[in-house]
Structure 1
Amino acid sequence: MLFFLLAVIFTVMLYLIMRAYPRYQVDSFHAVVFNYYSCVLTGLVLTPDPAVFMEVRWTAEGTALTMALGAMFVTAFLLIGLTAQKVSVTATSLAGNMSLVIPVLFGLFVFRNNNKVFTGLNYLGLALALVALALGAIQRSREPAGAANTAGPKQTLWIFPILTFFASGTNNTLINFLSSRYYPAGQITVFMIIACLGAVVIGTSILVYRMVVHGHKLKFRSVLGGLILGVPNFLSLYFLLLALAAFGNSAAYVFPIYNILTMLVSALAAWVLYKERLNTLNKWGLLLAVAAIVLISYQELNL
């Protein structure tokens, strides 16, 4: 249970740290790039036997595809940061957790690797997840009263949670596919480090291009913000994997509870630290999200 709670805490820390970036004038893209340097270092520290990397075939198809996954890592993380900053931490958590619908649908209809028969209640849960996402995406702009931009920017805020939903879902689908196809169970940490190395290469290349061609300035605060972010980023996955192992690798049992707790703790932490308030539709979205996750996995929860 300790691993379970640590996974939730470090996941919520991700949203809260990225939400704080504008206050400290941290460039989100620069921070995301250096976040993956920190992820790689954290992963290496936690790897029991670094010699395992000597066995990696760096020219193999699986390794190349895993490195390419780094591009999706960077994209998804940028969208998470934008959603947390422009909309709310709760909306970010909701979009990220509801994105489980995408890998579930791919598992059912594309990969056909689902280990249970879906019932009408399970499909109802998937539908409710989409409704919950839509309700959670409706937010008020943080522009101060009397600001020049009016209905236009406020009406377009919903796009950030939607994009985060699709990016996170695609990311998780690719992680599930590549890790299960190319890596044995004991090499999940190796898989994540290789993917983060890909993110380092891709993100750094884009960053250097921006600095050389467009004259972007790299600030120490952005580098530091990214290095700080990378630790909970890697640890959130690390402890989630340990929690899965502790519960007999029952993903269908662990992920629903993990997602529910992450959403609820995110909403509470955002209210305490940033005074974020949910409107009526957001509250309904949060309740529907909990109901959706329960319905999707009610068999494993023994309900």
Structure 2
Amino acid sequence: MLYFLLAVLFTVALYLIMRSYPKYQVNSFHAVVFNYYSCVLTGLVLTPDLKAFGEIQWNSQGTVLTLALGTLFVVAFMSIGMTAQKVSVTAASLAGNMSLVIPVLFGLFIFKNTNKEFTVLNYTGLVIALVALALGVMQTKAKSTAFAHDQPLEVSVLSYAWLLPVFTFLASGTNNTLINYLTMQYYRPEQTTLFMIIACSGAILIGTLLLLYKIFFGSEKLLLRSVVGGLILGVPNFLSLYFLLQALGSFGNSAAFVFPIYNILSMLVSSLAAWILYKEKLNNLNRLGLALAVVAIILISYQELGF
């Protein structure tokens, strides 16, 4: 249970750290790039046998695809940060956690690797998840201080800001789907940490190239606070996955049980923490969306939860 709670806490820390970037004038993209340097270092510290890296065939199809996945890592992480900053931590958490719909659908209809028969309740849960996402990002009015450093952007049906959590939903879901596919096709279960380090290395390559381009051709300045902000972010980023994997092991690798509970707790704790630290308030639509998100996850996995 300790691993479980640590996974949730480090996941929530991701959203809160990125939410704080505008206040300290941290460039989100710069921070995301250096976050992956910190991820790799954290992964190396936690890797029991570094000799495994000597066995990597860098020109193999699996390794090349994993490095390419790093590009999507950067895109997905940037979208999470922008959603947390411009909309709310709750919206970012909701979009990220509800994105489980995408790998579930791919596993069911494309990969055909689901280990259970989906029922009407399961499909109902998938539909409710999409409704929950829509309700979770809606706001009833706009603020004139929408772009202030310490204020989230209010999202109305008529604004375009709702595209941020939708993009986060799609990017995170695609990211998780590709992670599932690549680990299933090219890696053994005990090589998950190795897989993540290779993928983060790919994120470093693409992110650093883009960053250098922005600095030398876009007149952007790299500030120390952005570097430090990224290095700090990378530790909970990697540890959230590390402890989630540890939790899976302690619960007999029952992903269908662990992930729904993990998603529910992450959403609820994120909302509570954002309310306490950043005074983020939920309107009635947001509260309904959050409640429906819990219902959706339960319906999607009610067989594994023992209901």
Give CA-to-partner distance per residue, 1:170-205, whole Å, 9 cap, x none. Answer: 000000000111000000000000000000000000
Q: CA deviation at 1:141?
A: 4.6
Give CA-to-partner distance per residue, 1:107-144, whole Å, 9 cap, x none. Answer: 00000000100000000000000000000121355542
Unaligned runs of 5+ in 1: none
Give the AA of the match of 2:248: L
Which one of the candidate residues 239, 243, 253 is aligned to 1:239?
Answer: 243
Q: CA deviation at 1:47?
A: 0.1
- 8 Å contact from structure 2 (residues 87, 154) kept in 1: no
Report what 1:39 is aligned to: 39
| Cα 1:154–1:31 shift into 2, 3 Å | farther
Distance 2:106 2:199 in 1: 21
Report what 2:4 is aligned to: 4
| Cα 1:78–1:60 shift into 2, 3 Å | same
Distance 1:250 1:205 in 2: 39
Distance 2:8 2:155 in 1: 35
Extract structure 1 runs of 4+ deviating beyond 4 A.
Answer: 149-154
Give the AA of the match of 1:30: H
Which one of the candidate residues 186, 195, 201 is aligned to 1:191?
Answer: 195
Instruction: Indicate whether 1:166 and 2:167 are aligned.
Output: no
What's the secondary structure of 1:24's corresponding residue? coil
Distance 1:285 1:153 in 2: 15
Report what 2:259 is aligned to: 255
1:175-214 correspondence runs (5 A): 175-214=179-218
What's the secondary structure of 1:38's corresponding residue? helix
Give the AA of the match of 2:179: I
Distance 2:137 2:76 in 1: 17
- 8 Å contact from structure 2 (residues 137, 155) kept in 1: no
Give CA-to-partner distance per residue, 1:44-91, whole Å, 9 cap, x none. Answer: 000001111001111100000000000000000000000000000000
- 8 Å contact from structure 2 (residues 96, 168) kept in 1: yes
What's the secondary structure of 1:278's corresponding residue? coil
Instruction: Indicate whether 1:302 and 2:303 are aligned.
Output: no
Distance 1:194 1:141 in 2: 43
Q: CA deviation at 1:161?
A: 0.6
Q: CA deviation at 1:151?
A: 9.2
Give the AA of the match of 2:145: P
What's the secondary structure of 1:155's corresponding residue? coil
Q: CA deviation at 1:152?
A: 8.8
Q: CA deviation at 1:150?
A: 10
- 8 Å contact from structure 1 (residues 86, 142) kept in 2: no
- 8 Å contact from structure 2 (residues 87, 155) kept in 1: no
The TM-score normalised by the length of structure 1 is 0.97
Report what 1:276 is aligned to: 280
Unaligned runs of 5+ in 2: none
Report what 1:122 is aligned to: 122
1:73-88 correspondence runs (5 A): 73-88=73-88
Instruction: Indicate whether 1:292 and 2:296 are aligned.
Output: yes
- 8 Å contact from structure 2 (residues 138, 155) kept in 1: no
Report what 1:135 is aligned to: 135
Matched-pair identity in %:
69
- 8 Å contact from structure 2 (residues 95, 133) kept in 1: yes
Instruction: Indicate whether 1:99 and 2:99 are aligned.
Output: yes
Distance 1:292 1:137 in 2: 16
Distance 1:187 1:297 in 2: 27
- 8 Å contact from structure 1 (residues 11, 232) kept in 2: yes
Distance 2:288 2:244 in 1: 28
Distance 1:234 1:151 in 2: 30
Instruction: Indicate whether 1:155 and 2:156 are aligned.
Output: no
CA RMSD of aligned residues (A): 1.7
Report what 1:13 is aligned to: 13
| Cα 1:154–1:83 shift into 2, 3 Å | farther
Report what 2:89 is aligned to: 89
Aligned residues: 301
Q: CA deviation at 1:229?
A: 0.1
Give the AA of the match of 1:175: I
- Between stretches 153-162 and 3-12, larger displacement belongs to 153-162
